Amino acid sequence: MQRHRTLIALVVTGLALAVAPALAFAGVNQFVDTWTDEPTHFFSPNACVEHQAVGDGVESGTAWITETANGTVHVRGQIHGTVALYYAYGPPSDPQPGAYIGTWTYDGRFSEAALPNEAGSLTGTGQGPIVLADGHTAILSSKFHLTFDTAGNPPKVFFANFTCSGVGSFKG
């Protein structure tokens, strides 16, 4: 009789362990999004020439997305891209490309959390070699973080850091 109860307990425990993950994720939608050679546009400070840069390139990546039952979205991902950068002139609303700076090839990671009221945050990094117009190379890195308030309000926190390292860094 004891042996029979032990077997029943093991079966019930095994069934509970098999069903629990499905119940825990009820109302959660998880999926993966990938893209290849999508056009991308850059406008940011370039630490290697200490000047605003503008350029177009291509980017590929993967994003792992989780949507919860209450409408919250969590995203984490990785990217790889290449962009030809030029000195940027004119207003930030319409930067025009000037002389060629170089080509940046980068890898990066990002994460995002968005609440149903559109508050949330976005964080990312990108780093990789830049081959400058004069043939020198350096490592260009970027890090940023944005914290969003509710819909329609400007970001509450904005942080961006750009660094250049290596013998190829110069002022333009």
> Is 49 inside a domain boundary?
yes
| Residue 167 pLDDT exceeds 70 | no
User: For the range 150-156, what are the long-range contacts, defined as Cβ-Cβ under 8 Å and sequence gap of 24 or more?
Assistant: 150/117, 150/118, 150/119, 151/117, 151/118
Contact between residue 84 and residue 106 where contact means Cβ atoms under 8 Å apart: no
| Residue-level pLDDT at 170 | 52
Token representation of residue 140: 């260009």
Q: Is residue 12 part of a domain?
A: no
Q: Over the stretch 3-35, which tens digit does the pLDDT of each residue have?
A: 443 333 333 334 344 444 444 455 799 999 999
Q: Is the pLDDT of residue 37 over 90?
A: yes
Whether 17 is in a domain gets the answer no
Note whether residue 16 is domain-resident. no
- Output the pLDDT for position 13: 37
Range of 22-26, 51-55, 168-172 with top mean pLDDT: 51-55
Domain that includes residue 75, residue range: 28-165
Tokens found for residue 76: 């984490």
- 20 is a domain residue: no
| Residue 170 lies inside a defined structural domain of this protein | no
Mean pLDDT of 56-65: 97
Q: Is 6 contained in some domain?
A: no
User: Between residues 67 and 168, which one has the greater pLDDT?
Assistant: 67
| Whether residue 109 has pLDDT greater than 70 | yes
Among 24, 66, 59, 27, smallest CA distance to 41 is for 59
DSSP letter (8 states) at residue 4: H
- 18 found inside a domain: no
- What's the domain count of the chain? 1
15 forms bridges with which residues in the sheet? none
Give the per-residue pLDDT at 26. Answer: 59
Residue-wise pLDDT for 111-151, tens only, equals 999 998 888 999 999 999 999 999 999 999 999 999 988 87
